[in-house]
Amino acid sequence: MKLAILGFGTVGGGTADMLVKNAELLAARAGEPIEIKYIVDIREFPDSPFADKIIKDFSVVESDKEISLVIEVIGGAKIAYDFTRRALLAGKSVVTSNKELVATHGAELLAIAKEKGCFYLFEAAVGGGIPVLSPLTNELGHNEISEISGILNGTTNYILTRMFSSGASFEAALAEAQAKGYAESDPTADVEGHDAARKIAILGALASGKLFSADHILTEGIRGIRAEDVAAAAKIGYSIKLLGRYLATRSGDLFLLVAPFMIPAESPLSGISDVYNGVLVRGNFVDDVMFYGRGAGAAPTASAVVADVDKIARGVAQRPLFANAESDALTDISFFSARRYVVVEGVDANAAQIIFGETEPLSSEENAFLTVEMSEDSYLTRVKRLEACGGSVVSHIRLYR
């Protein structure tokens, strides 16, 4: 079996490395060697051990009948989309870690793969090396899935972990993450939650068979989290994690959102620190199951990419039971209900209690409190009332349960 890797960045390099280092094991499993024939990248890599395989022109791959599989690890939804489409149309299976492309064009690309009798697989798009998508579909999909809640972004989890362990501000923790290579120089996609939104859109599509546009998912990042919020959470035994959440209620409502949540110590999500990811799935028979591991990095992501390659090579790949429609499902969360940590200013504690209902005061230095459970709608109504009284919200974090 001969394949091409599109993109020789971090994940592409890790993937090539695994295909070589674990070649014997892979060949034994597949019954034949798996060989990298091309690596497509516009850059030069004269010193790479793979230098002789690097080409610039994708059409060489596209027209090479020997290539039955293409690994797309370019990222983004432009060139990657074009190359993936063309590879699939040429009957070549495509394996990817590209969550943006899967979240935006997954349904279309899966339809092309099906029509052409090849595969479009993307285990690496969510949770890095952690097997999540396949277990969710294959070992848990016969449960009614009522919840998927995931720490889906390692960068933000590292920042939040540092804020808890050192009391650092968001800015200081971000700078540290950047210095360690855990955050990009433009960290927007991570810290604003867009990366997590793409991932929960994919998980939601697998769990529900409906398609969600990441752009329409309520997405709140972690920029607004203050050292005071961290201290308040720690004081009552909570951690703060950026979660991507998919919730299916008994009455048929689907809620998707990405936001920081305060998580009680009893939750298995609470202990997931640093750059690790964890995805909790709740099914009507299995109850809570959680998958944990490295959600990013060259080697773990390569593991997930090559897992899909290995399945295709062994002849056991399955078509992901992804969204069966191209249309965007509603992701209105007006009735999503949660307790909330709220910090207000401009009104006294008494007024805050009247506006937010029964509250549990948290701090002597700020007007910080926990509310009872209330819907998004109800919360927003109360915020308007607060503002009408001359007050404003300083900080607001939902409680996980």
CB of 122 to a copy of itself, least distance (A): 13
CB of 134 to a copy of itself, least distance (A): 6
CB of 3 to a copy of itself, least distance (A): 14
Instruction: Give whichever of 244 and 293 is closer to a copy of itself, judged by the CB atom.
Output: 293
CB of 53 to a copy of itself, least distance (A): 20
Angle of helix 349-356 relative to helix 376-388, nearest 10 degrees, comes to 140
CB of 129 to a copy of itself, least distance (A): 4
3-state secondary structure the chain: CEEEEECCCHHHHHHHHHHHHCHHHHHHHHCCCCEEEEEECCCCCCCCCCHHHEECCHHHHHHCCCEEEEEECCCCCCHHHHHHHHHHHCCCEEEECCHHHHHHHHHHHHHHHHHHCCCEECHHHCCCCCCCHHHHHHHCCCCCEEEEEEECCHHHHHHHHHHHHHCCCHHHHHHHHHHCCCCCCCCHHHHCCHHHHHHHHHHHHHHHCCECCHHHCEECCCCCCCHHHHHHHHHCCEEEEEEEEEEECCCCCEEEEEEEEEEECCCCCCCCCCCEEEEEEEECCCEEEEEEEECCCHHHHHHHHHHHHHHHHHCCCCCCCCCCCCCECCCCCCCCEECEEEEEECCCHHHHHHHHCCEEECCCCCEEEEECCEEHHHHHHHHHHHHHCCCEEEEEEEECC
Instruction: Give whichever of 48 and 143 is closer to a copy of itself, judged by the CB atom.
Output: 143
Label the pairing between strands 2-6 and 35-40. parallel
Q: How many CB atoms lie within 10 A of CB 218?
A: 17
CB 100 within 8 A of CB 76: yes
Instruction: Give whichever of 284 and 392 is closer to a copy of itself, judged by the CB atom.
Output: 284
> Is 2 among the residues known to form the active site?
no
CB 84 within 8 A of CB 119: no
CB of 9 to a copy of itself, least distance (A): 17
User: How far apart, in whole angstroms, are the C-alpha atoms of residue 22 and residue 252?
Assistant: 45
Instruction: Give whichever of 323 and 338 is closer to a copy of itself, judged by the CB atom.
Output: 323
Catalytic residue among 53, 92, 99, 199: 199
Instruction: Give whichever of 12 and 14 is closer to a copy of itself, judged by the CB atom.
Output: 14
Instruction: Give whichever of 18 and 67 is closer to a copy of itself, judged by the CB atom.
Output: 18
CB of 19 to a copy of itself, least distance (A): 10
Interface residues toward a copy of itself, by CB under 8 A: 14, 18, 21-22, 25-26, 29, 123, 129-131, 134-135, 138-144, 268, 270-272, 276, 283-294, 299-300, 302-304, 306-307, 310-311, 316, 318, 321
186: its two tokens: 């433009």
CB of 29 to a copy of itself, least distance (A): 6
- The radius of gyration computed from the CA coordinates of the chain, to the nearest angstrom, equals 23
* Residues with catalytic roles: 199
